Amino acid sequence: MRDGATLILGPLLATDVRAASPVARQAGIPVIAFSNDESVAGRGTFIMGFTPDQSIDRVVRLARSKGSTRFAALVPTGLYGTRASQSVLESVRRSGGRMITIETFERSAASARTAALRVKMKGPVDAILIADSGRMAALAAPSLPQAAKFMGTELWASDKALGRTAALRGAWYAAAPDARFAQLTTRYRARYGKSPYRLASLGYDAVLLAVRGARGWPMGRPFPTRILIDREGFAGVDGNFRFGNDGIAERQLEVRQVTATGTTVVDRAGSGF
């Protein structure tokens, strides 16, 4: 800020966003952070990260549209599990479904399987959310009722081996469309000889957003924060998104289905807001 910055891109971790945001806010400088922790958003801080709320709501709504009414969930202990529990409860309620049970587990194979067996004891369910990594989902899924539709969160998008677990084939999860990121990866490899980290898209899209804002941003003047809450949204490497008044990036997500060899898109992301 002493060097004249009037827009901050980053940081990544929520603890760092909490430290930086008050300083920037006092100076009237917007922060576009890469965290996915909704609690740090708002009052001039915008977060680009993928939140579990949106990925969970996306698959719950699709399951409801296909006839699922009775839902269950497996969630890990800790902050992510708490957020996932709140999200699935609210999504099921809004969509008119019924939440049968939410079972928690420690991040261990034994605990995940025990929680899965507790779900089984609660009676028939149509859809089960496994709100953890693909690795933990693979441990829990074989012990769950196999007639149910399994659903995951945005955490599954980074796991390319989901289909190795037969019980997960046919499961759904929501994620940002990959087509534009694949194009970015091709260009990146040509220049640097290796692939970018998947989170690189957040920084890339934040810079594109700043460039768009720069068209009406005279040198030395405050950044025009109003453009960040454009209701039409923006087209980025991770698909279309827009910031709400709460500072959280609302994204158009697609739903993928796990197959033996990878995934296939079963419900495409929307093209606009």
Q: What whole-number percentage of the chain has pLDDT above 90?
A: 85
46 and 63 belong to one structural domain:
no
Q: How confident is the model at residue 32 (pLDDT cuts 50, 70, 90)?
A: very high
Q: How confident is the model at residue 151 (pLDDT cuts 50, 70, 90)?
A: very high
Span 69-79, mean pLDDT? 96
92 and 139 belong to one structural domain:
yes
26 and 67 belong to one structural domain:
no
88 and 99 belong to one structural domain:
yes
Span 73-84, mean pLDDT? 95
Taking the whole predicted model, whether its pTM rises above 0.75 is answered as yes
Span 210-225, mean pLDDT? 82
29 and 110 belong to one structural domain:
no
Report CA dihedral (11, 13, 19, 20) to the nearest 10 degrees: 10
Residue 3 lies in a domain: no
Range of the domain at 35: 8-50+199-251
Residue 141 lies in a domain: yes
Residue 38 lies in a domain: yes
118 and 150 belong to one structural domain:
yes
44 and 57 belong to one structural domain:
no
Q: How many domains does the chain have?
A: 2
Given a contact cutoff of 8 angstroms between Cβ atoms, the answer to whether 148 and 168 are in contact is no
Span 76-86, mean pLDDT? 94
Residue 258 lies in a domain: no
**Model confidence at 256: pLDDT above 90:** yes
134 and 147 belong to one structural domain:
yes
Residue 39 lies in a domain: yes
Tens of pLDDT along 90-140? 999 999 999 999 999 998 999 999 999 999 999 999 999 999 999 999 999
37 and 145 belong to one structural domain:
no
Count the alpha carbons within 13 Å of 146 in the hemisphere toward its beta carbon. 6
Structure tokens, 118? 């507790």
136 and 225 belong to one structural domain:
no
CATH number at residue 17: 3.40.50.2300
Cα–Cα distance measured from residue 161 to residue 215, given in angstroms and rounded to the nearest whole number? 43
pLDDT of the residue at 72:
98
32 and 64 belong to one structural domain:
no
Residue with tokens 């980025």: 236
Residue 32 lies in a domain: yes
71 and 95 belong to one structural domain:
yes
